[in-house]
A and B are shown apart, each in its own frame.
Chain A
Amino acid sequence: MSTRATTAERAAGGTADYLDQRTGIGLAVKNFARKIFPDHWSFLLGEIALYSFVVLLISGVFLTMFFVPSMGLIEYEGPLASMDGVEMSEAFASTLHLSFEVTGGLLMRQIHHWAALLFMASIVTHMMRVFFTGAFRKPREINWLVGFVLMILGLGAGFTGYSLPDDVLSGNGLRITDGVVKSIPIIGSYMSYFIFGGEFPGEHIIPRLFTMHILLIPGLILALIGLHLFLVVVHKHTHFPGPGRTDRNVVGFPLFPVYVAKAGGFFFVVFGILALMGGTMTINPVWNYGPYDPSPVSAGAQPDWYMLFLEGSLRLMPGPGWEWVIGGYTLPMNVLIPAVVIPGLLFTMLALYPFVEAFATGDKREHHVLDRPRNAPVRTASGVAILTAFFILILAGSNDLIATHFDLSINDITRIFRVLVIALPILAFWVTKRICLGLQRKDRDLVLHGHESGRIVRLAHGEYLEVHTPLDEYERWTLVQHEPRRPLELEPAEDERGVRRKGYRRDAIRARVSRFFYEDRVEPVTPAELAAAHSHGEHDALEGGAGGQEQIEASQAHDTQPAAGGAVAGRSARGHDARDR
């Protein structure tokens, strides 16, 4: 036994040593194995995106074996009655062949498509987490941009792949793309001819999309994922506020063995759920839509969910009066505004937000402790406003389904959404900001007065009081650890000698932005405030007597303390007993 184990050990050690001497991998393994990751479920959202990308690569390789990226026309002969003998492109025929004749083909296709939807959904969710916790602050602004570009590339990968089977539905999407490209002033029609190699649809678009879909975009995504993760390693992971967590440390578990097991297991969880979805839920049944033909458009023609905002934007835009003819050239504002300007604005806001916030705070320090969303009301409200705008556009893109499923008039829905797409983000901003401020006030109240205990006590002179249990210091830390953010003070335009100060104008803008961000605020409780609260909140600090019998602390031993506001300070409440009971 022991000899065999020793042999195995020697073999493993020998191999490791062989590798280490030639690659120096030992140091990397040692560093990686000791890398600390903080524990929080929301830190796994990015992993979902990573793992669905791996699933996309695996299933995609399988699909490439059978898909024929050609627009050459053939007559389909196969087991599908509704397509037998129909003339179609080789791309569509090979998709049918792949789905109905290749063993496991349909499962792979469905896993691939579900993984694509999940990839985008998890990227968006991950982005929300990063946004709302302020994880994009210095030093992670660049990584925010890398992630943003990854999201755009994900959209590109999804769009190019969605169009490959050459079915009617995706063909409709390509036609809309063609229309959007043509709406761009001056270069539009040239661009369209360039993309399609002639008049739409031409014979080149499927092979071109194929190259983009299987080579260019995945290559870029892979490279950027590498950069994204590399920067995570360089910056080290952020962590949520808590006792002992600072901007200078990372509190969590080492990569090996805890996170290797957790993350490795999570890959199989993601793969398993995708396989479950691919095996039980139909996705993109191209055989329902039929081979592409530019003439038919069926009801319920929509893109995949991540492009639905664009569809909704186009559906909301009023048509008449928005096609401007200038000097014989048509400027189709009814396409340009919804398809180029509005998404452009929303995405630019998303990409540049970290820089706007950095400008408003003037903060150049590194941040590794995350914000609780309520502690950054304007940021949280901005995020909710952007999401609300996207959500309304997505609903507008589904207006026909809302009409049929909820027995509404599609015209009314469209009119209402036209108002909501402007009004609701503003309302959402205001409501979210108020909620955040309210939650902050609740936190303050909790820190100052403690939890309600439900115990009602009558004092000697007849007054009834509810006993509050003061927070323990761990819980309190989370509620008071953040630093107050205040609007930047604007220094005067002229110095003491009356000379105009350089950079005043920039400072003035900065002060205005900063006021917008931090004018309404609730500051965290300071130690002085806490001490003051505890002293004049004497009546809450009832000592729990033995056997649950309440003994009223009547003694009003006033030891004066230098408390804020000059409040008469009494004995500080302790009350930890009440909590532990």
Chain B
Amino acid sequence: MKAIAARRHHRLAPVVLLLLALLVTGALYAVLAPSAQSAPAPTEDDVVAGEALFQANCATCHGPNAEGREGAPSLIGVGAAAVDFQVSTGRMPMQMNGPQAAAKPPQFEEEEIAQLAAYVASLGPGPAIPSDEQVDPALGDAANGMALFRTNCAMCHGAIGKGGALSEGKYAPDLSGSTPTEIYEAMLTGPQSMPVFNDANLTPEEKRDIIAYLDVQQAGSPGGTDLGSVGPVAEGLWVWVVGIGLLISLSVWIGAKSS
């Protein structure tokens, strides 16, 4: 101890300290960082099966080695999360060309999706599928999620994630049918027009807060039917249909001669 104390003014001390600090930070990060492996680690068989599925279903557009083509991006380095999001929501394989790939019933079994994800993940390092704990809305703070959501998400997805229009026929989809895992993966990988919200941008905890905020919305509106939660236009439509509609029918009844 004394020896260290004596050398604390040594001119190399800052360098040593800096190296030590970097080492500790790196070690801590390696231990604490969100683990890439949540689901049981994919086996070599999965990768092989995934490659076969890929060749049969995806290679036409994305190329035989997933290197991408005109209009279809390279999948090297997109990670398992992107594959899981795109395929489990049915966006991929794409049904037809259009402004953007629409969600539809998934075309593959869960196991096949995992195999595809394993194959694509084996092509290059990329974001992994989040663990159940990472996406558990019960562990998130809905109020913080509200603040984050309206700063980062609401300009496209609307105030409570009911969706909104983008340019040239593209759109931000309604989030009310999305699972927490899908929401997390979307933030992580930025599918289609959506920007990537990496962990420096929104930390994993903040992502979970957003999931918690969206989960609160599933409870529905305290004020009755939510009229689609699309804002005053729907309210205006209904006041004409229900309010004026009913009252005019009743006016006709009242105004009719009582003979």
Q: Give chain A's interface residues, CB within 8 Å of chain B.
A: 39-45, 48, 81-86, 99-100, 106, 110, 113-114, 117-118, 121-122, 125, 168-169, 262, 265-266, 269-270, 273-274, 277, 279-285, 287-290, 293, 295-306, 308, 397-401, 403-404, 407-412
Given A82-B143, A296-B154, A298-B154, A404 contacting B165 (CB threshold 8 A): yes
Let me know if A305 and B239 touch, CB within 8 A. yes
The docked-state distance in angstroms from the alpha carbon of A259 to that of B28 is: 83
Given the interface pairs A82-B145, A299-B172, the reply to whether A290 lies near B223 with Cβ below 8 Å is no
Q: Determine whether the beta carbon of B142 is less than 8 Å from that of A82.
A: yes
- Prevailing SS type, chain A contact patch: helix
Say how far B230's CB is from chain A's closest CB, in angstroms.
Answer: 5
Q: Mark B140-173, 1 if CB is under 8 A from A, else 0.
A: 0011011100110011111110111111110110
Please indicate the chain A residues that have their CB under 8 angstroms from the CB of B157 in the complex.
299
A262-B213 Cα distance, complex, nearest whole Å = 50
User: Nearest Cβ distance between residue B100 and chain A, in whole angstroms?
Assistant: 11
Contact assessment for A401 and B216 in the assembled complex, using a CB-CB cutoff below 8 Å: no
If the complex has contacts A44-B254, A279-B224, A411-B168, are A298 and B243 also in contact, measured as CB distance less than 8 A?
Answer: no
B256 touches A288 (CB 8 A): no
**Nearest B-chain residue to A263, judged by Cβ:** B254
B221 contacts A282, CB within 8 Å? yes
Q: Most A CB atoms within 10 A — which of B146, B160, B243, B257?
A: B243
B237 partner residues in chain A, CB cutoff 8 A? 305
Contact call B226/A282, Cβ cutoff below 8 A: yes
Q: B150, A290: Cβ atoms under 8 Å?
A: yes
Any A CB within 8 A of the CB of B20: no
Are A304 and B232 CB-contacts (below 8 A) given A118-B244, A281-B224? yes
Name which of B166, B168, B233 has the most chain A CB atoms within 10 A of its CB. B233
Q: Which residues of B contact A273 (CB under 8 A)?
A: 242-243, 246-247
Check B150 against A403 for contact (C-beta < 8 Å).
Answer: no
Which residues of B does A touch, CB under 8 Å? 99, 142-143, 145-147, 150-151, 154-160, 162-169, 171-172, 213, 216-217, 221-227, 229-240, 242-244, 246-248, 250-257
Task: Give the Cβ gap from B9 to chain A, nearest Cβ, in Å.
Answer: 47
Query: How far apart sit A295 and B151, CA to CA, in the bound complex (Å)?
Result: 7
How distant is the Cα of A84 from the Cα of B216 in the complex, in angstroms? 13
Which of A42, A283, A299 interacts with B158 by CB under 8 Å? A299
CB-based contact B233/A308 at 8 Å: yes
Contact of A288 among B147, B155, B168, B229 (CB under 8 A): B229
Tell me the complex Cα distance, A411–B166, Å.
9
Q: Which residue of A lies closest to B173 (CB)?
A: A404
Q: Does B165 lie within 8 Å of A403, measured CB to CB?
A: yes
Residue of B nearest to A79 (CB): B222
Cα A110 to Cα B216 in complex, Å, equals 21
Given the contacts A283-B235, A401-B233, A117 and B243 also touching, CB distance less than 8 Å: yes
**Choice from B226, B251, B257 contacting A44 with Cβ under 8 Å:** B251
Of the A-B pairs whose beta carbons lie under 8 Å apart in the complex, a sample of 16, sorted by A's number, is A39-B255, A83-B146, A86-B147, A270-B247, A273-B247, A277-B242, A283-B227, A285-B221, A290-B159, A298-B154, A298-B164, A299-B164, A300-B162, A305-B235, A398-B233, A399-B165
Give the residues in chain A near B240, CB-CB below 8 Å: 121, 305
**Do the beta carbons of B165 and A281 come within 8 Å of each other?**
no
Task: Rank and list the top 7 A-B pairs by shortest CB-CB distance, nearest first.
Answer: A305-B236, A299-B164, A41-B255, A282-B223, A298-B154, A409-B169, A400-B165
- With A and B bound together, what is the CA distance between A269 and B246 in angstroms? 10
Taking CB atoms, residues of chain A closer than 8 Å to B216 are 81-82
Give Cα A100–Cα B172 distance, bound, in whole angstroms: 31
* In the bound complex, CA of A289 to CA of B231 (Å): 10
A44-B251, A81-B143, A83-B143 known; 16 new pairs, CB 8 Å cut-off, are A41-B248, A41-B255, A45-B251, A81-B216, A83-B146, A84-B143, A86-B143, A99-B222, A168-B150, A265-B254, A266-B254, A279-B224, A283-B223, A296-B151, A299-B157, A308-B233
Q: Which of A86, A266, A397, A410 contacts B165 (CB 8 A)?
A: A410
Distance to closest chain B CB from A266 (angstroms): 6
Question: In the complex the two chains form, is A404's CB within 8 Å of B231's CB?
Answer: no
The chain B residue sitting closest to A397, CB to CB, is B233
Residues of A within 8 A of B229 (CB): 282, 285, 288
**B233 near A296: Cβ-Cβ < 8 Å:** no
Chain A: CB-nearest residue to B164: A299
Query: Nearest Cβ in chain B — how far from A70, in angstroms?
Result: 22
Cβ distance A338 to chain B, nearest Cβ, rounded Å: 18
Task: Please judge, given known A-B contacts A83-B143, A298-B159, A302-B231, whether A285 and B168 are in contact too, CB under 8 Å.
Answer: no
Q: Contacts A121-B243, A284-B235 hold; do A169 and B167 have CB atoms under 8 A apart?
A: no
Cα A113 to Cα B227 in complex, Å, equals: 15
Task: Establish whether residues A300 and B159, one from each chain, have CB atoms under 8 Å apart when the complex forms.
Answer: yes
Are B235 and A289 in contact, with the CB atoms below 8 A? Answer: no
Contacts of B255 in A (CB 8 A): 39-44
Closest to A411 in B: B168
B235 interface neighbour in A298, A304, A410, Cβ under 8 Å: A304
Q: Give bound CA distance, A51 to B256, whole Å.
A: 20
Q: Is the CB of A281 within 8 A of B150?
A: no
Which has the most chain B C-beta neighbours within 10 Å: A45, A122, A287, A401?
A401
Q: Looking at A86, A298, A304, which has the most chain B CB atoms within 10 Å of its CB?
A: A298
Name the A residues within 8 Å of B253 (CB-CB): 41
Q: For residue A39, which residues in chain B have a CB less than 8 angstroms away from its CB?
A: 255-257
**Option from B145, B154, B171, B244 in Cβ contact (under 8 Å) with A122:** B244
- In the complex, A465→B239 CA distance in Å? 51
**B239 CB to nearest chain A CB (Å):** 4
Chain B residue nearest to A109 (CB atoms) is B223
A409 touches B236 (CB 8 A): no
With a CB–CB cut-off of 8 A, which chain A residues contact B163?
299, 404
- B252 and chain A: residue at smallest CB distance: A41
Q: In the assembly, what is the distance between CA of A398 and CA of B228, in Å? A: 14
Q: Which of A82, A298, A408 contacts B169 (CB 8 A)?
A: A408
B51 to chain A, nearest CB (A): 35
Is B222 touching A100 in the complex (CB atoms < 8 A)?
A: yes
Q: Which one of B156, B159, B217 has the greatest number of beta carbons of chain A within 10 Å?
A: B159
Q: Which of A85, A113, A301 contacts B143 (CB 8 A)?
A: A85
